[in-house]
Copies of this chain bind each other. A is one copy, B any other.
Amino acid sequence: MSRVSEESGTAAKETTTERIPAALRREQILAAASRVFGERGYSGATTDQVAQAAGISQPYVVRMFGTKENLFLEVVARALDKLITTFRVVLAEPQPAGDDDADSLVARLGAAYVDLIEDRGILLSLMQAFITGHDPVIGAKAREGFLQIYRMLRDEAGFPPEIIRDFLANGMLFNTLLAIRLPDIFEDDEAAEELMRCAFRGKLDVVLDATGSHASHAMSAPTGTAGTHS
């Protein structure tokens, strides 16, 4: 498989030098930055890599956001916002008639979380921010963001601490599995496959799909059993 020039929505380098409204370009840069930072982390990513991913020049990236740090902070803020918003949507949905206990809600939130993988940058950028907790500026935002999620699950979803802990724990495991790219060695390693089937529950296909790992693996339990443990 040779990847030749042209970009296709999700991840590639642009080539045109069109004049585009600043607001739009800004979005393009943020989207590219989300992917790059998600992959390489704050220190590991360069403004030039972001620029290339967005199809513009490096100085323009800096010009738009002032500093690399600002760009990262904006990426993280967006990711957090998207996550919070996604959860709120689920919380606003009417409880499915059958079992409307906390367990069911946790399951739906979990499923929504997994679906966020559609844009890998969101989950990974957040994770990268958490891991950069030592940084005075980024670290502060990371802590704040993590606690914001915690409070939301407690105050808006009404979960008790233990439920939240388990939910967050599964989220962190999910992020980590994505980071080490476990989906990439699916099938090459029996342990990897077993762990993934178990960790991603009925969402395995969605994950493999989103991560570009050989798509056809269909075997999803219809309604997906993306719940939190038994």
Q: Which residues of A contact B (CB under 8 A)?
A: 39-44, 127-128, 130-134, 139, 142-143, 146-147, 150-151, 154, 161-162, 164-166, 168-170, 172-173, 175-176, 179-182, 185, 189, 191-192, 194-195, 197-199, 227, 229-230
CB distance B181 to A133 under 8 Å? yes
Interface of A is mostly: helix
| Identical subunits present | 2
CA distance A176 to B174 in the complex (A): 12
* Given A43-B41, A43-B44, A194:B161 Cβ within 8 A: yes
A198→B165 CA distance, assembly (Å): 7
Given the known inter-chain contacts A42-B44, A128-B131, A198-B161, please indicate yes or no for A176 contacting B172, CB distance below 8 A.
Answer: yes
In whole angstroms, how far apart are the Cα atoms of A115 and B199 in the complex? 26
Q: Are A227 and B162 in contact (CB under 8 A)?
A: yes
Tell me the bound Cα distance from A230 to B176 in angstroms: 24
- Contact in complex: A134, B227 (CB < 8 Å): no
Q: Once the chains are docked, how many angstroms separate the CA of A173 from the CA of B42?
A: 20
